[in-house]
Amino acid sequence: MVLPPVGVVAAFIGFPVVAAIAYTLGKTGGPNSMVASLAQHQHVAKHGVTLAAYREMLGDHQVLGDLWATVWVTVVAVLIVLAMSWTIALYLRLRGGKIAALLSGLSVVPLFIPVVIASYALVTFYSVDGFVRTVAYNLGYHSFPTVGYTLTAVVIGEVWVNVPFGVLMLSSGLNGVPDSLIEASRDAGASLSRTVRSVLFPLNVIPTVIVATFTAIYVLGSFTVPYLVGPSAPNLLGVSMSNYFSSFNQPQQSEVLAVIVFVLAAGIGAVYVWANVRASRRAGQVA
Amino acid sequence: MKAHLWALGAAALIAVCAAGAAAGSTAREGKAAAHASKTVTINVYVSGDVNVEDLYTKSLIPGFEKSHPGDKVKLIFSEHGVNDTTTLDRIGAAVKARKWPGIDLVDGGLANTLAIDGLATPMTTAKIPNLAKVQPSLLTPVKGAALPYRGSSVVLAYDSTKVANPPKTLDALIQWIKSNPGKFTYNSPNTGGSGQSFVETVLAKYVSAKDQTAMVNGYVPNLESDWTQGFNLLKSLNSDIYQGVYPNGNQAVLDLLANGQIEMAPVWSDQSLTALEQKQLPSTIHLEQISNPSFTGGGAYVAVPKTAKNKTVVYAFENYMLQPAVQAVVVNAMSGYPAIAIKYLNKSVQSKFSSVSPNTLRPVYSTKMLTDMNAEWQKDVP
Amino acid sequence: MSAVEQGALHAAAPAARPKTARRVPLVARALETLLVICLFLFMLGPLIWLAVRAFAAVWFFPRMLPNSWSLEWWRTVFDSPQFMHSVRLSFEFAPTVTIISAAICIPAAYAFSRYRFPGRRTLLISLFATNAFPKFGLYVSMAGFFYSLNLMGKFLGVVIVQLIGTIVFMTWIPTAAFSAVPRSLEDAARDVGAGPLRVFFRVTFPLAAPGILVAIILSFLAAFDEAQGTFLVGVPNYITMPTQMYTLVIDYPQQVAAVFSILLAIPSVVLMGFARKHVMGGRLAEGFQIR
């Protein structure tokens, strides 16, 4: 019964992944022969494999700049998403009422907006003649800084796109904490922040880890938001990957970047798996 | 319980949509087979800006279908460059597997690549009689495997209300940019031809004539060190560019001009003339060509993948595009240059091109040199 | 979670909200309002700003509203048959993909949930891991592979490409949904004499339904938004909406993107109203835990 989805993934993703990794190591035969015949600046392995492509990319100062930009944008975006999601989810759980329902509705909106439209809306909002600067101008600030087309704008965009998932996940996790526990903590004299710190947060470490890892993986590989909203340089790795592939006709280098993103994402995924297994083991569910 | 009902309702709704879709698609695919004996449809992939799309949908396709009843042309339009490599891979894989790539005619930068890489059918006068009218120099960059059907060049656009004396040479332009920071921009070369031409022009200033010809005619990566001086100059302009950001694409630059946010920019002649006509650019924007060196220009090509279907109809379409009457339409609708020699057009059209015609424009580098140039620009400049 | 917590979980119905009788101090009230306003500006501001532009003819900085209004751009969008056609195509593909995904993944989810076979966790994780490889790097090999399978340009080919992106949602979330259904209930039903299929449809499925609904919605959205892979395989007949949108946003003046954003907001709002009750405060968190 398990075979169909596993089979589909193995065939249509697994096989191309293996071919792509082989290509980065210099193997230009078989499934890679088509793209290899059109590419420029390839490193071909004479026998065995070669790491020349990796050496080229990891030694290139621009690629390293892009890598660094991607990493710090990811970290900042994840932190802000967590902060915002926790705030909204806590408010929902503890306060309730119409305002909470309104907040929850607002925070889920981005999930249903196609990311191309969202990026475009964001860049016009924060651009030189966007809402932010227009309001500032009319209030007297004639040289308010422009956020559009900077890495800050990319962070804002990524946060905007990922908050819905964070809110959904955390509110679902917080919902799993019974009222009785919260009431008991308050009755024992704990303040609100103490309750959050000692009761709600420890019970929701896993949803927090989930939000962090999924957001991180999304931002690492994202293309549309940085392409439409970001600066000319440094680019996020998703945009660089596309440039190397389409504009510079260097698909091998593009695949190298893909592998780097994959390794980073897999590392984060490993953290996620470890956290899960540890929690399950603690709860006595796993041998 | 209620959730149960919602889930079933959702599933039912989705099932209906899917059934309709599957039925529709099999019907579509069946219909295509059934009609094979009567109407022939060729698929044209066009990659470029909206003015090219309009040329096809408003002029070329209706005109062709009217004069060739029973032949239909289906247009697949894609924003300049975004899907080019994907399509190129697709055509390459198809030609290799000797299968139909789903596309019979390609228009855009990748037509050049197909021609040079041997994936396109060579053009001969036997297949396309009107080929004889085309200026031969236009056929050299594509090794005779693609057909030029119009020409265009990059020019300098400027706001005449703000710029009284526009610069006439490249040096004057650079000087102007430096003395008027924040009033000029160009799109990143990998996203649009106008910015790409600007970059190439700056580089060309410092390349010897011999090396320049080599770069135009072939792929000579070892000569790329000639570009260093040009790239340094471009890098020094970073702080004078509007907002310090290079826009994505030709249209974005035109938008900035139209909104009055910049005063000068390199633009495509045909795209900007059309925009002026349609009032998308205010009439205060004027165009002119610089010299020493001038911006680049050349032919726009279409190519036929080797495993295309219905080639007779495709050749008929290409022949149609080169008819003098249709070339006049291209000139008027797109404000472009004709690909056939001027003498074949009627007098009123000829007068527009007394001083400029596609083969007197400065040619741009070969495709592979351009991709290397894009990569170097991204590394060295922003 | 321990047995006590499990019990408490079932006792606390998701619909109940804490109703504190404490007075809310003014400062807290003010902060709340500020929070709502900020969130409103942050989330909806960009969309509304763009939507206003759909009706603008001329709009220069620093005006808060357009200099002049016009409906011309609406006509441009509606006059273009290929835009509307691609939207319709998207609405044909996404449901099909969701159904097929559900059909092959839900039984697998049931197996993952109920049977502890060796390699179970490895398989679950590998389904997740393969999704982490940037799809962009796969299209090259995919083209060749699809050609050899004669899937290029075919309906089934596009379905497969979009299907791949939905598998993670459709296996992980229903697995958790099924796991949350207490076996005792199933055993009780079986004791009373119900056959296994009956038990599934009358006991297991209704209880797992909210989680499955969430999976369906997320999968639908994933399939709907899929752009590059669809273009690779779908040419010439199947160009969907996301690919068209790149063209719109980059090649046309801003007003066209604004018009399209309003058009797309309508089905989005509908879908959201439909789903919100079950998506918010539901079982989503459990869906992503590996048990």
CB of A65 less than 8 A from some CB of C: no
The band of C62, judged by pLDDT with boundaries at 50, 70 and 90, is low
Residue of B nearest to A146 (CA): B243
CA distances for A69 relative to A171, B67, B117, C57, angstroms = 31, 56, 36, 38
User: Which of A64-73, B248-257, C62-71, C138-147 tops mean pLDDT?
Assistant: A64-73
Ramachandran angles phi, psi of B357, nearest 5° = -145, 160
- d(C-alpha C39, C-alpha C37), whole Å: 5
CB of B61 less than 8 A from some CB of C: no
Residue of B nearest to C136 (CA): B86
Q: Of the candidates B10, B93, B97, which has its C-beta nearest C213's C-beta?
A: B10
- Closest by Cα among B296, B73, A226, A4 to A241: A226
pLDDT value for B17: 46
In a domain, residue C56? The reply is no
B246 neighbourhood in chain A, CB within 8 Å: 232
| Topology given in CATH for the domain delimited by B33-151+299-355 | D-Maltodextrin-Binding Protein; domain 2 (3.40.190)
Report the CATH architecture of B153-298+365-380: 3-Layer(aba) Sandwich (3.40)
Most B CBs within 10 Å: which of A247, A250, A253, as the mutation test of the B interface?
A247
CB of C266 less than 8 A from some CB of A: no
B3 neighbourhood in chain C, CB within 8 Å: 206, 209-210, 213, 278
The band of A78, judged by pLDDT with boundaries at 50, 70 and 90, is very high
Number of domains in chain C: 1
SS3 sequence, chain B? CHHHHHHHHHHHHHHHHHHHHHHHHHHHHHHHHHHHHCCEEEEEEEEECHHHHHHHHHHHHHHHHHHCCCEEEEEEEEECCCCHHHHHHHHHHHHHHCCCCCCCEEECHHHHHHHHCCCECCCCCCCCHHHHHECHHHHHHHCCCCEEEEEEEEEEEEECCCCCCCCCEHHHHHHHHHHCCCCECCCCCCCCHHHHHHHHHHHHHCCCHHHHHHHHHCCCHHHHHHHHHHHHHHHHCHHHEHHHCCCCCHHHHHHHHHCCCCCEEEEEHHHHHHHHHCCCCCCCEEEECCECCCCEEEEEEEECECCCCCHHHHHHHHHHHCCHHHHHHHHHHHCCEECECHHHCCHHHHHHHCCCCHHHCECCCCHHHHHHHHHHHHHHCC
A35 neighbourhood in chain B, CB within 8 Å: 89, 92
- d(C-alpha C51, C-alpha C263), whole Å: 10
The band of A72, judged by pLDDT with boundaries at 50, 70 and 90, is very high
pLDDT value for C16: 46
Residue of C nearest to B98 (CA): C147
C106 neighbourhood in chain B, CB within 8 Å: none
Residue C146 is part of a domain; what is its CATH number? Answer: 1.10.3720.10
B85 neighbourhood in chain A, CB within 8 Å: 245-246, 249, 251
pLDDT value for B36: 44
- d(C-alpha B141, C-alpha B343), whole Å: 23
pLDDT value for A73: 93
C272 neighbourhood in chain B, CB within 8 Å: none
The band of A284, judged by pLDDT with boundaries at 50, 70 and 90, is low
Q: Which of residues 208-227 of C touch B (CB under 8 A)?
A: 209-210, 212-213, 216, 220
Judged by DSSP in three states, C69 sits in: strand
- d(C-alpha C57, C-alpha C51), whole Å: 13
Q: Which of residues 51-110 of C touch A (CB under 8 A)?
A: 53, 60-64, 104-105, 107-108, 110
- d(C-alpha C186, C-alpha C197), whole Å: 11
- d(C-alpha C4, C-alpha B262), whole Å: 68
Between A and B, how many CB-CB pairs are < 8 A?
73
- Whole-model pTM: value is 0.78
A95 vs A260: which has the higher pLDDT: A260
Most C CBs within 10 Å: which of B41, B45, B80, B82, as the mutation test of the C interface?
B82
Mean residue pLDDT across chain A:
81
- Candidate from A167-176, B276-285, C240-249 with smallest mean pLDDT: C240-249
Q: Which residues of B345-360 are buried (b: 16+ CB within 10 A; e: fewer)?
A: beeebbebbeeebbbe
- d(C-alpha B38, C-alpha C272), whole Å: 47
B96 neighbourhood in chain A, CB within 8 Å: 33-34
In a domain, residue C117? The reply is yes
B248 near B116, Cβ under 8 Å? no
Q: Of the candidates B3, B45, B79, which has its C-beta nearest C209's C-beta?
A: B3
pLDDT value for C140: 63
Question: Is the pLDDT at C281 greater than 60, yes or no?
Answer: no
In a domain, residue C67? The reply is no
Most A CBs within 10 Å: which of B245, B259, B370, as the mutation test of the A interface?
B245
Q: How is residue B245 written in tokens?
A: 């950001």
- Side-chain-side CA neighbours of C193 within 13 Å: the count stands at 0
A218: left (phi over 0), alpha (psi -120 to 50) or beta: alpha
Query: Does B18 contact C95 at a Cβ distance shorter than 8 Å?
Result: yes
B159 vs A3: which has the higher pLDDT: B159
Closest approach of chain B CAs to the CA of C247, in angstroms? Answer: 5
Residue of B nearest to C234 (CA): B102
- d(C-alpha B20, C-alpha B28), whole Å: 12
A3 neighbourhood in chain C, CB within 8 Å: 108
CB of B102 less than 8 A from some CB of C: yes
Query: Does A232 contact B371 at a Cβ distance shorter than 8 Å?
Result: no
CB of A265 less than 8 A from some CB of C: yes
pLDDT digit string, tens, across residues A204-247: 887 888 888 888 888 888 888 888 888 887 888 888 887 887 77
Q: Of the candidates C205, C235, C251, which has its C-beta nearest B87's C-beta?
A: C235
Query: Does C232 contact B1 at a Cβ distance shorter than 8 Å?
Result: no
- Closest by Cα among A217, A286, A241, A162 to C129: A217
The band of A81, judged by pLDDT with boundaries at 50, 70 and 90, is very high
A172 vs B19: which has the higher pLDDT: A172
ipTM of predicted complex: 0.77
For chain B of 382 residues, list the mean pLDDT of each consecutive stretch of 10: 45 48 45 54 87 87 89 82 73 84 88 86 87 81 85 87 87 91 90 90 88 83 87 90 86 85 89 81 84 82 91 90 87 81 75 59 81 88 85
Query: Does A109 contact C225 at a Cβ distance shorter than 8 Å?
Result: no
Q: Output the CATH code of domain A66-232.
A: 1.10.3720.10
A99 near A119, Cβ under 8 Å? no
pLDDT value for C61: 67
Query: Does C152 contact B249 at a Cβ distance shorter than 8 Å?
Result: no
pLDDT value for C249: 67
Question: Is the pLDDT at C121 greater than 60, yes or no?
Answer: yes
In angstroms and rounded to an integer, the radius of gyration of the C-alpha atoms of chain B is: 23
Question: In the complex, which subunits touch B with 3 or more CB pairs below 8 angstroms?
Answer: A, C
The band of A31, judged by pLDDT with boundaries at 50, 70 and 90, is low
Domain assignments of chain A as residue spans, ordered by start: 66-232
pLDDT digit string, tens, across residues C151-177: 777 788 888 888 888 888 888 778 877
Domain assignments of chain B as residue spans, ordered by start: 1-32, 33-151+299-355, 153-298+365-380
Looking at chain C, how many residues does it have? 291
Range of the domain at C121: 81-173+209-287
Question: Which contacts qualify for A82-85: CB closer than 8 Å, 24 or more apart?
Answer: A82/A166, A82/A208, A82/A211, A82/A212, A84/A159, A84/A163, A84/A166, A84/A167, A85/A163, A85/A166, A85/A167, A85/A169, A85/A170, A85/A211
pLDDT value for C56: 78
Decide if B33-151+299-355 and B153-298+365-380 have a common fold.
Answer: yes
